[in-house]
Chain A
Amino acid sequence: MFVRGLKRKCFDGEEDIEGTLAGIKAIPSYNLQRQSLLDMSLVKLQLCHMLVEPNLCRSVLIANTVRQIQEEMTQDGTWQMINTQSTGQASLDRLVSTDILCRSARDQAEGKHAPAYGTFNKEFESDQAQDSSETMSTASSVQAPRNLQSNAWEMENPQENKGNFQKSLDQIFETLENKSPNTVEDLFSEVDNSYYDLDTMLTGMMSNTKMGHCDSLETFSSSTNTASNSNCKSDLNDLDHIVEILVES
């Protein structure tokens, strides 16, 4: 229902889409997909801190991707607040299929000027053959309609959230406090406050960051083997013990 309402409001003349899609799945706009890519990248950066030292190359590449997105969003003024207030579940909803981002810049330029769903028909035709058998995408596209509605609201107020976004990203890259999010909700709600020095983040030198809660995020990182929090605590106890001995001697 939401999808239909939204379409009637924003995108005229696309009624045929509803029939073919059965109103469940919708291909999101470039901005939404870019936001989704940003969220996905931030999740990946957090998930870098596993039992084994993280792969620095991978971390650097993901961090560079985040910077690129940030720069582009700065340039075209479409600030979207990283969802600090809503629950983690809603944040996962934002991770929609990002096929559109695979298209080249030239295609993007064509698509961008039209209303977001104006390009939909073209995409849908080419995707139609592949969509049903697309096994790689693990995005929660079923939840996209709810997402679209909430994001439509945000699209109306792009400027307000600019400051928050910049602050969040900077804090991720530049500040020093070690804080381990204990739940998925914390992961996103504390993104303003979860301070990670880039050095420690990239080289995995954080003591508190073993993620024991990544089950729901597992689809986004295929190779994680997360340690339980209890392992970390005993390791930290060992470390404390060793430091004690060193200090005393």
Chain B
Amino acid sequence: FLGAGGGNDIQWCFSQVKGAVDDDVAEADIISTVEFNHSGELLATGDKGGRVVIFQQEQENKTQSHSRGEYNVYSTFQSHEPEFDYLKSLEIEEKINKIRWLPQKNAAQFLLSTNDKTIKLWKISERDKRPEGYNLKEEDGRYRDPTTVTTLRVPVFRPMDLMVEASPRRIFANAHTYHINSISINSDYETYLSADDLRINLWHLEITDRSFSILLPLFYIVDIKPANMEELTEVITAAEFHPNSCSTFVYSSSKGTIRLCDMRASALCDRHSKLFEEPEDPSNRSFFSEIISSISDVKFSHSGRYMMTRDYLSVKIWDLNMENRPVETYQVHEYLRSKLCSLYENDCIFDKFECCWNGSDRQVEFLSLIVMTGSYNNFFRMFDRNTKRDITLEASRENNKPRTVLKPRKVCASGKRKKDEISVDSLDFNKKILHTAWHPKENIIAVATTNNLYIFQDKMN
């Protein structure tokens, strides 16, 4: 039972690592997003080069019952290309900011992928048969001279090697002046939202028979652009639909606030239903207080009763019924508080870490009990809400012995460093784990370092 033991009682073992081995990282290979689909069978990554790579889990091997199926490459495609905005004389990066899967309805899989400006709906389908025996076409596709056709036959499907095709079905463009930071699919599975720094748009997914279309949003549901841009002091940093209530969504800001909006109240949600904000701790105030309070990610719990936010140093859990403070706060790397100046100087203070919940256990549905988030030096952290224990693990090729339990790491903040501890000054701030994902149903996690994807699973007994 996942909840009883929690983060520390799950014994994480290395399973696989994907990506180049050498230290020289190609810019295009930098992983920018990681997402499991709803069944967990597929795992998608997006990178700075605009590519999407989808891994598929092998069916469980009946003879090897102690390990779950491995993830192997299923499909790779170029989702976005670099563009040039002639009006502003600026490049539009092809980097994939987010991927979100649609729930599977038929044989094909659908996902949304987005860069800074354009969202695309991709259809991923398998083909393992092909029709043969056309009357008017040759096998290679050339048309036959109709006068040479003397008999008629019925084309039949013959097996072929599995081919996985990705084709763009919808393009959702020209609706964002600023950079898209979030996309979130509504629980009605018909609409979704996209958020940039100042605006949130609502779109219809338009899964119809029409093969391809370029669409405009239904309308914008949030717009915080001031009349005079000089007055701008706060931007939208993340947004998400409520998992059960299709008219409710939240968005977070660079000042550490979260607003919950209900679209039933008005189409333009310029007034929030709830405002979540923790009062500032005056004893911890510094010039960097605002920057570190900026929320980089927001995720609802499975039930929708709680939500989790990630700011630079901590993860906070909020009860939707309590606006004035979070119910729980977990420190990710408090030892960095005394280093904020240096981190501001080298821009690390602007790193946007994501966070995620555990998947829902087979036996107990919809319990969000463990929080996972990344840190520096290729460390990632897990917090168990029940036991209040936490653990620090490292994604490194040195630990790559399958079924060997990962050794917990510890950072020495000050004073004498114990054996096996790492001092703050030895941390590598170029090795950051910004993106992590948890399999929706099992204890399998995907952790992205700069250009490698690590898969860990719990040691099944």
Contacts and interface: CB of A to CB of B under 8 A. Distances in A.
A134 to B, nearest CB: 6
A106 interface: yes
Interface of A: 33-34, 37, 40, 44, 51-53, 55-58, 60-61, 63-65, 68-69, 97-99, 101-106, 126, 130, 133-139, 173-174, 197-199, 202-205, 207, 220-223, 232, 235-236, 238-239, 242
A58 B429 CA distance: 18
Q: How large is the interface on B (under 10, 10 to 19, 20 to 34, 35 or more residues)?
A: 35 or more
B251 to A, nearest CB: 13
B88 to A, nearest CB: 5
A202 B290 CA distance: 18
Given A102-B339, A134-B342, A238-B86, A223 B347 contact: yes
Nearest to B87: A239
A69 B291 CA distance: 14
Residue among A55, A56, A97, A220 facing the most chain B CB atoms (10 A cut-off): A56
Given A56-B179, A203-B229, A51 B425 contact: no
Contact of A68 (B178, B290, B294, B346): B290
Contacts of A197: 229-230
A57 B254 contact: yes
A104 B283 contact: yes
Interface in B405-437: 414, 423-426, 429
The list of the 8 closest CB pairs from A to B, nearest first, reads: A199-B229, A136-B342, A98-B341, A198-B230, A56-B197, A133-B425, A105-B285, A53-B90
Contacts of A40: 344-345
Given A57-B197, A60-B254, A135 B345 contact: no
Contacts of A52: 90-93
B347 A221 contact: yes
Nearest to A62: B291
Nearest to A224: B347
Contacts of B86: 238-239, 242
A35 to B, nearest CB: 12
A53 B88 contact: yes
Contact of A102 (B234, B283, B288, B426): B288
Given A37-B341, A105-B285, A220-B345, A64 B233 contact: yes
A198 B350 CA distance: 20
B47 interface: no
A166 to B, nearest CB: 15
A7 B337 CA distance: 30
Nearest to A220: B345
Contact of B91 (A37, A51, A69, A134): A51
A21 to B, nearest CB: 19
A104 B285 contact: yes
A176 B213 CA distance: 40
A60 B337 contact: no
Given A56-B197, A60-B235, A203-B229, 11 more contacts: A37-B344, A40-B345, A53-B92, A56-B235, A65-B288, A102-B337, A104-B286, A105-B286, A133-B426, A136-B346, A174-B230
B279 to A, nearest CB: 15
Nearest to B282: A105
A101 B285 contact: no
